A and B are shown apart, each in its own frame.
Chain A
Amino acid sequence: AQSVSQHNHHVILSEAASLELGCNYSYGGTVNLFWYVQYPGQHLQLLLKYFSGDPLVKGIKGFEAEFIKSKFSFNLRKPSVQWSDTAEYFCAVITISGGSYIPTFGRGTSLIVHP
């Protein structure tokens, strides 16, 4: 079964610092990849997604992620974080070749950005 690892559980940064959150998945083959974000007091919402094509995908609010198939990774990046980026970030994977189409989520990374 697919599993998703997010190695950074808690990240604390100052504004303007660069961000990289790791995401690795266990089962190869054809996958669709997502990053979801949950701002304080709000519901989970999509940040960006990768289905195919250019492995560098850009999402909302200046976030981007790079799919590296050989490393089973889909790391999230932002060059300069803002206080408003304080949130929980979840990586999710759908294993298309597995045939289940059920999104599997990582445990999440809590990001706190100090002004």
Chain B
Amino acid sequence: GAGVSQSPRYKVAKRGQDVALRCDPISGHVSLFWYQQALGQGPEFLTYFQNEAQLDKSGLPSDRFFAERPEGSVSTLKIQRTQQEDSAVYLCASSRGQLNEKLFFGSGTQLSVL
């Protein structure tokens, strides 16, 4: 596609509910990043994939957070038993391959946990 696509654009969840956020990177992009952006803050790193391999998940805040990219393209970020502190914008970004290249960002998924 023309850019990085994320869905849904907005998600409202009740506390304790599981959610799944989808990211469709630019076709052919090897690297894929997930970031969490709280209100008034900058993007905080969650996890990084190179093709289907999850090479860094050091930013995932708890074991309730899980990400996958099984075929090296579309990625899903899953949050189990959501809590209010999970409310944030979740950003996906991709790049062609070299690790210091610029990132192409999606518009994000705004998650609100009530």
Contacts and interface: CB of A to CB of B under 8 A. Distances in A.
B105 A108 contact: no
Interface stretch (A13-21, A62-70, A74-82, A98-106): A98-106
Interface in A45-97: 45-46, 49, 51, 90, 94, 96
B108 interface: yes
Contact of A45 (B33, B100, B105, B108): B105
B103 interface: yes
Nearest to B31: A101
Contact of A102 (B45, B102, B105, B106): B45
A100 B59 CA distance: 12
Given A94-B100, A101-B100, A107 B105 contact: no
A105 B56 contact: no
B91 A44 contact: yes
How would you classify the secondary structure of chain B's contact residues: helix, strand, loop or mixed?
Answer: loop
A90 B35 CA distance: 14
A39 to B, nearest CB: 12
Contact residues on A (Cβ < 8 Å of other chain), bracket: 20 to 34
B62 interface: no
Given A43-B106, A44-B105, A94-B100, A103 B42 contact: no
A107 B100 contact: no
B99 A107 contact: no
Interface string A5-44: 0100100000000000000000000001010100000111
The residue in B40, B43, B105 that gathers the most chain A C-beta atoms within 10 A of its C-beta is: B43
Contacts of A9: 40
Interface of B: 3-4, 33, 35, 40-45, 48, 56, 91, 93, 99-100, 102-108
